[in-house]
Structure 1
């Protein structure tokens, strides 16, 4: 946090916190994290619904992917030679008993790092803005911290960490506008799904006392997000802590 009268919630709080947490967990040196962040953002841009996918954007993403792969391969090799108390060392140790290739370990680390800060930072920033826009809900957390878990779930429902997911219909599905044949690829807009009035009463209302079905923001079944627990934990710690420090904060 800064000592200035104003802050950028995403750049000054959400991103630094999430990058620090996942960086420490994996054992990525602090001095390397900003450069890696830049490459991750470039690579993630081509997967964004509104992202650029022209030749220049794809070439830039390729360069970032190569830079990330080279860096993480070197880091994995270092942890193989000199293990430390971090998740990369644990993955390397698991390699001895599980048939994992170097490429698979590097891919896992890249997935954990990229999703461990970008989507988590989105959740933190969106949650803080939601609480600033609804001071009555922020006061509920101040006076009853036990509601923080509900608040995190409500933030994730209204503001999913990712905009959409792609799925394939396992069988024919009848919808209000027609039938989807088996094998049809479907783009699921999570923010729309999570505001289904047939599932959520008053779906556009930000209500941290809401109970009932969980949202689909983290997917489901075998596609459930592995990083969901870390994202929720960071938010559960961050929201009440920030509200305590910034009692008079306003948007």
Structure 2
């Protein structure tokens, strides 16, 4: 377990100077209840409707600092997402009763981690489309202190596991945006999160963006039409 924890902490950027009471409030009981209330309608809906895939957005704490857990997909995998930063997750299976079950099953397959269900699951955020047109439901969960967990990543799917403090993600200097053009005209903007062990972009960055909006209203503000980040 200690080896796994050291692995998760390695390369984790130092926490910026924040009031620790402010930092810890992101995982407080009060903030959890607020988020659960906001997510209740979408959670009820997407427990009834089938989605193409689901991921587990894993909140946690490392040495008392609130963070988000990410995986780096194995570079030996086939497909367009190999080597990308992602959340544990995958396609819906016929045995899955809902999006939450899909996210929990996939997390166990990738990290050998059993998520306990209702106690740590805060809810289901609105699904977002990926590049293949699949509808991906982000399931928000709090895994608690990583010191209490043992992760055994499936090497065929996961190259490494790492965390980023929520305070790091909230710092403007760690946020970038890429503008996309179609036929030489502006099309859309997607967020990018920088200066961690790995660059967070694509669908994972979009879901991170939505998560920060939910966790830190009034502190995190989505920016659009920013100059392209390379």
- TM-score (ref. length: structure 1): 0.24
Structure with more strand by fraction: 2
- TM-score (ref. length: structure 2): 0.26
Give the greater-gyration-radius structure (CA). 1
Structure with more helix by fraction: 1
The structure, 1 or 2, with the larger RCO (C-alpha pairs under 8 Å, 6+ apart) is 2
